[in-house]
């Protein structure tokens, strides 16, 4: 993502889920939400996306209230509509109906002045899958360390 200002990321997503597919979606936001996002006041750790009435919504995304407003602040946890193409929504509906698949946000960012979210179609990892990933990462780290030591000699 060249030229994008990342606001927040879901770092545990790749640890807890197998990422099957990714989508970029726009978000329908209020003015105070955009201002809070520009200040970096957002959290997507426990959020997820769902389909309701043929539209995709983002739930549990926390955007803190904008402190410099006199009136009409937003609800920090309100559901936010996501903007996707109809064919993408149909594809997502078909995939989410399969057992064990869900939509989770990976990151929120500004691209060309517009607030965007990267959604991932994901399947949850079991405990043994997580242990396997940790073991592979440790092996790779050890192998890289040995290679570095051999180059020094």
Q: Identify the domain containing residue 90 by its residue range.
A: 4-125
- The Cα 20–Cα 92 span in angstroms is 11
More confident: 99 or 79? 79
pLDDT at 31 over 70: yes
pTM: 0.74
8 Å CB contact between 21 and 120: yes
For the stretch 35-73, pLDDT in tens is: 888 888 888 888 888 888 888 898 988 888 887 776 777
- Token pair 């396997």: residue: 132
For the stretch 94-114, pLDDT in tens is: 888 877 788 899 988 988 888
Is 29 a domain residue? Answer: yes
Is 47 a domain residue? Answer: yes
Is 107 a domain residue? Answer: yes
- Token pair 């389909």: residue: 51
- 100 torsion bin: left (phi>0), alpha (psi -120 to 50), beta (else): left
- The Cα 137–Cα 141 span in angstroms is 6
């Amino acid at each position: 993502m060249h030229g994008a200002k990342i606001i927040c990321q879901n770092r545990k997503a790749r640890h807890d889920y197998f990422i099957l597919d990714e989508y970029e979606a726009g978000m329908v936001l209020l003015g105070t939400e955009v201002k809070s996002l520009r200040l970096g006041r957002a959290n997507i750790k426990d959020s997820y996306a769902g389909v309701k009435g043929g539209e995709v919504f983002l739930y549990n995304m926390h955007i803190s209230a904008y402190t410099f407003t006199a009136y009409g602040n937003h609800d920090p946890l309100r559901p936010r509509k996501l903007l996707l193409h109809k064919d993408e929504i149909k594809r997502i509906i078909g995939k989410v109906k399969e057992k064990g698949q869900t939509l989770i946000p990976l990151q929120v960012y500004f691209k060309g002045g517009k607030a965007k979210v990267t959604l991932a179609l994901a399947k949850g990892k079991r405990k043994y899958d997580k242990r396997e990933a940790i073991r592979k990462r440790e092996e790779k780290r050890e192998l890289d360390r040995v290679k570095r030591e051999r180059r020094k000699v």
